A and B are shown apart, each in its own frame.
Chain A
Amino acid sequence: NAGVMQNPRHLVRRRGQEARLRCSPMKGHSHVYWYRQLPEEGLKFMVYLQKENIIDESGMPKERFSAEFPKEGPSILRIQQVVRGDSAAYFCASSPIDEQFFGPGTRLTVL
């Protein structure tokens, strides 16, 4: 059973560009969580999704950030008009219900 997959593993964008981060949950998992980890800091919750629904987005910045988890395909975290402060590691976790299993993360660098 493959683990949680994230791609790309590394992403470089210039200020003002868009970043799209993808997360494929483990087979059979219908819950996805996104977390962000700034350099030298802990993980911070961003958003919790189930298939086609956003359940909790209390950790999402109000502007430029959006997330989706369509019926088919991976979950997408989209960051529009990136700024240098968006540089971080973005982790997704999938869950059947209880414990969460984390992917390897996407490291976003904004130049």
Chain B
Amino acid sequence: DAKTTQPTSMDCAEGRAANLPCNHSTISGNEYVYWYRQIHSQGPQYIIHGLKNNETNEMASLIITEDRKSSTLILPHATLRDTAVYYCIVRVSYGQNFVFGPGTRLSVLP
């Protein structure tokens, strides 16, 4: 079973920031938080991952709470092409498969 819980769906207006929450209250000290997304029926796309510090790359920002029990993925300026299912996954950094939950279906609206 997935170790994370996410809202089933969210809407976001085009051009606005999309904030996708994730709860992972049972995360252990050596587990990272990963975010992937799946656009329509394509292969999942890596977005970002982190351990305890906030992370930012060209796609998104990841904010992890100090107790590490939850995190938020931020897409700063959502576009229609960001419409996808977003998966939050916790895992040790290597040598382990990902356990995908149902994710959050983000709809970016014009």
Total residues of chain B contacting the partner, CB 8 A: 22
Indicate whether A44 reaches chain B with its CB closer than 8 angstroms. yes
Chain B residues with CB under 8 A of A104: 42-43
Docked Cα-Cα span, A56 to B95, in Å, equals: 9
A-B pairs with CB below 8 Å: how many? 56
Interface CB pairs A-B, < 8 A, 6: A35-B100, A42-B87, A42-B102, A93-B44, A98-B94, A102-B43
- A73, B103: Cα distance in complex, Å: 34
Q: Taking beta carbons and an 8 Å cutoff, which residues of A are in contact with B?
A: 4, 31, 33, 35, 42-45, 48, 55-56, 59, 89, 91, 93, 95, 97-105, 107
Q: In the complex, A111 Cα to B75 Cα: how many Å? A: 41
Docked pose: A73 CA to B101 CA in angstroms:
32
Closest to A96 in B: B94
Residues of B contacting A56 in the complex (Cβ-Cβ under 8 angstroms)? 97
Cross-chain contact of B43 among A42, A45, A105 (Cβ < 8 A): A105
Within 8 A of A (CB), among B40-91: 41-46, 49, 87
A22 and B12 CA atoms in complex are apart in Å by: 38
Q: Which of A45, A48, A95, A103 contacts B99 (CB 8 A)?
A: A45
Which single residue of chain B is at the shortest CB-CB distance from A99? Answer: B46
A9 to chain B, nearest CB (A): 11
The smallest beta-carbon distance between A38 and chain B, in angstroms, is 12
Q: State whether A101 touches B46 (Cβ < 8 A).
A: yes
Contacts of A91 in B (CB 8 A): 43-44
The answer on a CB contact under 8 Å between A100 and B46 is yes
A97: contacting residue among B38, B43, B94, B102, CB under 8 A:
B94
A32 nearest CB across to chain B (Å): 11
In the complex, besides A42-B87, A107-B41, 8 extra interface pairs with C-beta distance below 8 angstroms are A42-B102, A43-B44, A45-B98, A56-B97, A98-B49, A102-B43, A102-B44, A102-B45
